[in-house]
Amino acid sequence: MKRLVVYIAAALLSIPLFADEPDVDAVLDDIYRQLTELDPVESGELQEELLQYVSNPFDINTATEDDLRKLRFLSDNQIDAILTYVYKHPMESLNELDLIPELPSYQARNLRVFVSVKSKENDNHVYAKDVFHYAKHEIIARTDVRNIEAYENDPVFAQLKYKFNYQNRVQFGVNISRAAGVPAKDMRYGAYLELKDIAPHVKTIVAGNYQASFGQGLVLNTGFHQGKNSYVMTVGNAAEGLRKYSSAGIASLHGVGTTLTFGDITKLKTELSVLYSLNRSNDSLWHHVLGSHIGFRHKQLAVGMTFAEHLYNDSVHYYRNMAYNRNYFRGTNQAIIGADFRYCGNWYDIFVEVAATQNKTWGWATEVGCRFTPVSDVGLIVLYRYYSPTFDNTLAYAFSETTRINDENGLYLGTEISRLKNWIFRAYGDVFRFSGPKYGINYSPSWGYDAMGEADWKRTDSSHSIGTNIRFRAKEKAQKSTYALRLRFTYDLGGWSFRTQGDVNLVQDSVKTLTYGYSISQDIHYSFAKVPLTLQLRLQGFHANNWDNRIYVYENDVLYAWSIPSSYGVGGRAYLNLRWRIIDQLSLYLKVSETVYSREWAQQRDIPQTRTDIHLLLRAYL
């Protein structure tokens, strides 16, 4: 009877008349903004991954845990709920996502952008003749002219990329880039190969530039570093296994790796990953990494062990022997080992990882957390972490106040509530303590806190949508208190989209000096109905005399580019972003931006009064 009700509801939801089709650009912009604005991090690889799934949606009925986790905005218990649903009754329509209680309506709407429901007759085998016949090809040529006024020599950044993709299962790519002012002989080259499910028991093979993430990231986590963000329930997600690294940045791992699988989670599923990497840190230092991970899963229970050995051809040491780095790793070899555990119940999700690293003495680290979802639209997360002063691992990233997983003790609480129609409430509080000096903190011990509260309201109907967002954040660190308030208003009508945002902050230092900063920006987006052209304009004014009062505001940019500039100084900023699909196989992206500082502020700091940047990208695909 229960299954009959589910099928009837699914059939009704599959009627196109009631489908809520998401705006792809709006969904992507919202994800980028939510993940990166609070704790600005480089998100080029994140955009690469998400845009890959937009162009090549994966089948929700055959999706793996790793596939769903790469989307970043889903928590582990939501991922388990999706996998359990499709295992019991495969979806016939994406509107069935609304039947999963753990998925709020906005999460289900966003997920539709990246997944599909494919034919049941779809052959899951990979045939060589099909790989080249049905593969998608993409060529990216990008040129940036950066900070034209400040460069005395060559201000041009150049990049060329080629991407080959067959159903997200066979992927290959190369990229060549040259930084501004760098001679041609110092150009950066990169390549990657990723094979997924190409043979029985072979889950993944990677070669060239790649990433590895296991457990909570205490032993290996070289992917996109997801710090504090508005998706408060996703904190603690790290395990994504082995995957390609397609961005133009420097890959942390370069070599080969593979993951083998045996069994299934209804009985016992085993995964074994092994990897090797060789990187050159500078002209003389070579870094070898040997790693492995073995994981077992039975229904809701998962356990695993990860090991990594770092080998250097010369002793690693730090020339600036500051107090904060006295416990960083020094030597020619380092071993790290960790064990992780996870159990996902009906309304809770417990996750634990413990790791030890060889340093002057053995250092220890642990991360323990639990997500609670007593009802589908209320979530709570608790996470405790302890990283000893002698724990140090350059290829790790777990939840932390600092970028280095070292000498930290903290407790994080977060909640998300979406019980009221059109409303989402999010909040977190984090307290942390450092026993020794840290970068920028020359005394010890020290402590701090970070708290954020956010209310998001949005109403959508057939012709327009309107929304508002208010966020308050308070933080104390290094005897400095910061209070920031953000208000944003959005309105969409037809092809028009308007965003008005105001930011203000107050900073009080150790001697009780109070400084302030503010920013006001207006975005206007327009998509032409009969021409495949989108224009995005921003006008912004800001006043932040002190660096501590700088304000980060997310910006639209060309494809695969990352832009969250800091508004610092006194002046204004404007940019125009253009996206034009010239023909079906060729698109043009252009961004022209200019920052104008007040004459007095620029003269005091002896910098040009204006800064101009031009980003141009051509994308050919077939």
One DSSP character per residue, 461-525 reads -SSEEEEEEEEEEEEEETTEEEEEEEEEEEEEETTEEEEEEEEEEEEE-TT--EEEEEEEEEEEE
Whole-angstrom distance, CA of residue 425 vs CA of residue 418:
6
For residue 337, CA distances in Å to 364, 367, 395, 403, 505 come to 10, 14, 13, 20, 42
pLDDT at res. 408: 95
Q: 62 by DSSP, 3-state: which? A: coil
Q: Which amino acid is at 617?
A: L
User: What tens digit of pLDDT does each residue of 273-296 get?
Assistant: 999 999 887 667 889 999 999 999
Query: How far from 503 is each of 484, 488, 539, 541, CA to CA, in Å?
Result: 7, 9, 14, 11
What is the 8-class DSSP label of residue 391? -
Q: H or E segment at 402?
A: none
Q: Measured on CA atoms in the order 108, 111, 113, 119, is the torsion positive or negative?
A: negative
- pLDDT reported for residue 4: 35
What number of residues does the chain have?
622
When mean pLDDT is compared over 27-41, 187-201, 529-543, the highest value belongs to: 529-543
Residue 121 confidence (pLDDT): 54
- With b meaning 16 or more CB within 10 Å and e meaning fewer, what string describes 568-602? bbbbbbbbebbbeeeeeeebebebebbbbbeeebb
> What distances in angstroms separate CA 612 from CA 155, 575, 608, 617, one per listed residue?
11, 10, 10, 17
Distance between CA atoms of residues 205 and 198, nearest Å: 9
Please classify residue 133 by burial: count the beta carbons closer than 10 Å to its beta carbon, then call 0-12 exposed, 13-18 middle and 19+ buried: exposed
pLDDT tens digits for range 362-393: 899 999 999 998 887 899 999 999 999 999 99
* Residue 529 near residue 545 (C-beta atoms within 8 A): no
Q: pTM to 2 decimals?
A: 0.88
Q: What is the pLDDT of residues 485-537, one digit of tens each?
A: 999 999 999 889 999 999 999 999 878 889 999 999 999 999 998 899 999 99
> What is the helix, strand, coil percentage profile of the chain, to 5?
15, 50, 35
Hey, what are 336's tokens?
């790290």
CATH of domain 187-454: 2.40.160
What is the Cα–Cα distance from 151 to 174, expressed in whole angstroms? 29
- pLDDT the model gives residue 529: 87
Distance CA 411, CA 244 (A): 33
**What number is the average pLDDT over the span 184-200?**
87
The per-residue pLDDT for 10 is: 40
Contact, 482 vs 552, CB < 8 A?
Answer: no
* Residue among 305, 306, 328, 511 at smallest CA distance from 402: 328
| 111 secondary structure, DSSP code | H
Q: How many CB atoms lie within 10 A of CB 207?
A: 17
Residue 598 is predicted with a pLDDT of 94
State pLDDT tens for residues 319-350. 566 778 888 888 888 999 999 999 988 888 99
Residue that has been written with the tokens 């016939």 in this structure:
92
Tell which residue, 406, 403, 483, 410, has the closest CA to residue 448: 410
Residue 126 pLDDT more than 90?
Answer: no
For every residue of 533-551, DSSP letters joined together read EEEEEEEEEEEE-SGGG-E
Pairing relation of β-strands 253-262 and 286-298?
unpaired
Backbone region of residue 76 per phi and psi (left: phi > 0; alpha: psi in -120 to 50; beta: other values):
alpha
Pair of tokens at residue 82? 């999706």
How many other C-beta atoms are found inside a 10 Å radius of the C-beta of residue 235? 21
Among positive and negative, which fits the CA dihedral 83, 298, 260, 397? positive
In this model, does residue 272 exceed pLDDT 90?
Answer: yes
Could you give the CA distance from residue 590 to residue 255 in angstroms, rounded to a whole number?
35
Secondary structure (3-state) at 7: helix
* Residue from 447, 464, 468, 444 nearest 456 by CA: 468
DSSP H/E element including 13: helix 2-13
Residue in the structure block whose two tokens are 């987006």: 525
Average per-residue pLDDT in the chain? Answer: 87
The whole-number average pLDDT for the span 99-116 is: 86
Rounded to an integer, what is the distance from CA 561 to the centroid of its chain? 13
Give the DSSP H/E element, type plus range, for residue 562. Answer: none
Helices 44-55 and 24-36, packing angle to 10 deg: 150
What value, to the nearest 5°, has the Cα angle with vertex 463 and ends 460 and 466?
40
Place of tokens 């980060």: 552
> Contact 173/164 with Cβ under 8 angstroms?
yes
Sign of CA dihedral 238, 243, 245, 251: positive
Nearest-angstrom CA–CA distance, 383 and 273: 27
User: Could you tell me which of 46, 69, 104, 101 has the C-alpha nearest to residue 351?
Assistant: 69
In the chain, where the domains are located: 1-119, 129-155+479-622, 187-454
Give tens-digit pLDDT for 61-76.
988 888 888 888 888 7
| Nearest of 45, 91, 476 to residue 222 by alpha carbon | 45
User: pLDDT tens, 431-465?
Assistant: 999 998 888 888 889 999 999 999 999 988 877 88
Cα–Cα dist 119/92, whole Å: 9
